[in-house]
Amino acid sequence: MPTVTAPSRYRAEDLTRFAEGLFRAAGLDAEKARATAEHLVEADLMGHTTHGLAQIPGYLEEIEAGLMAKAGEPRVIADRGAAITWDGGTLPGIWLTDKALALASERARRHGLAAVAIGRSHHIGCLAVYLRKATEQNLMAIIASSDPSEATMAPFGGLAPVFTPDPIAFGIPTGGDPILVDISASITTNAMTGRLRREGGRYPGLWAQDAQGRATDDPAVFGASPPGTLLPTGGKDHGHKGYGLALAVEALTQGLAGHGRAQKPTTWAANVYVQVIDPAAFGGAEAYLRETGWLARACRESPPAPGSAAVRLPGERAVALRRAGLAEGLALYPGIMAGLESWAAKLKQAPPPAIA
């Protein structure tokens, strides 16, 4: 990775205004530009730097190419009260998923739980960002996503790519800071692989295999012909776990939305499953928070194993980074702002002022 000293910092609201301006100038309608900009800055604030402003050039290219719809509403395919299905029509996935989360939350308060399946959404960004919105209302959220136009992970024991990293995320309110679990069915992601390849880096473990099935830490296998594949969570040792999760995620997303690999889509076509659960409709919000709060404390109080300073909860670092970024300004991952300069010039948007 490049050596960087004293990176520039930006105010989150300046970054949001800049990103929003870019999306507006590219043609997204106001609500969609705002939602997308806010989400990407939130992702950077939470340290998910491959899924923050780093996504902007890709999104703008997709808008220019007509592959991300600029305006309109999802088409309602089915609505059974607690189960809603939309055709996302390649609309901005972040705006769609925000809207699905709000609807699922409203319906969960009525029915106890509710889910929205979205077919043909555009890229939905960083799952952890949505989770926090649910947990702030003492709701539990489950969000999964897959893109049937891509395949980079092989089934356990196989060589041919069948799956995407197929993330699934769980937002768990605790009464204090939320637990934000965001895991992929593969050990690592396409975005991380792309970044390491550009930087000439290696995975910290044997997270991929070459086309002959040899485990490797070298992301360059994705540039080989035929290319390698991501290994499922558990790797060569117990990768049936990640393989099982991938099947579940693709069934929840592509299966329920009724749009997937069988249709061989060739352009971005994320499918999304958003489920919200209201603990108040089950054993009660108080009892739920008592249990999740107890668990969070028990984990934090566990003596650390050698090599780890302390046991952290999933999302703990993200929430702390976000607080610091909002208070002191946000230092973007190296190269992000430079990568936006040509777009800023083209779309006549002034880059945000650095504050440090």
Nearer to a copy of itself, 49 or 184 (CB): 184
Nearer to a copy of itself, 304 or 353 (CB): 304
Provide the pairing of β-strand 113-121 with 83-87.
parallel
Helix pair angle (93-111, 127-135), 10° resolution: 30
Nearer to a copy of itself, 18 or 207 (CB): 207
3-state secondary structure of 311: coil
Which residues are CB-contacts of 215 (< 8 A; sequence separation ≥ 6)?
A: 206, 208, 209, 231, 235, 236
Nearer to a copy of itself, 283 or 339 (CB): 283
Nearer to a copy of itself, 85 or 145 (CB): 85
Q: Give the C-alpha separation, 251 to 333, whole Å.
A: 34
Q: Give the C-alpha separation, 188 to 186, whole Å.
A: 5
The CB-of-32 to a copy of itself minimum distance in angstroms stands at: 24
Residue at 281: amino acid letter: A
Nearer to a copy of itself, 40 or 169 (CB): 169
The CB-of-134 to a copy of itself minimum distance in angstroms stands at: 12
The CB-of-100 to a copy of itself minimum distance in angstroms stands at: 13
The CB-of-75 to a copy of itself minimum distance in angstroms stands at: 12
The DSSP string of 287-299 is HHHHHHHHHHHHH
Nearer to a copy of itself, 2 or 306 (CB): 306
Q: Give the C-alpha separation, 185 to 107, whole Å.
A: 28
The CB-of-244 to a copy of itself minimum distance in angstroms stands at: 4
The CB-of-42 to a copy of itself minimum distance in angstroms stands at: 20
Q: Give the C-alpha separation, 16 to 33, whole Å.
A: 10
The CB-of-278 to a copy of itself minimum distance in angstroms stands at: 7
Contact 212, 205 (CB under 8 A): no
Q: Give the C-alpha separation, 147 to 250, whole Å.
A: 9
Which residues are CB-contacts of 172 (< 8 A; sequence separation ≥ 6)?
A: 135, 140, 178, 179, 180, 181, 292
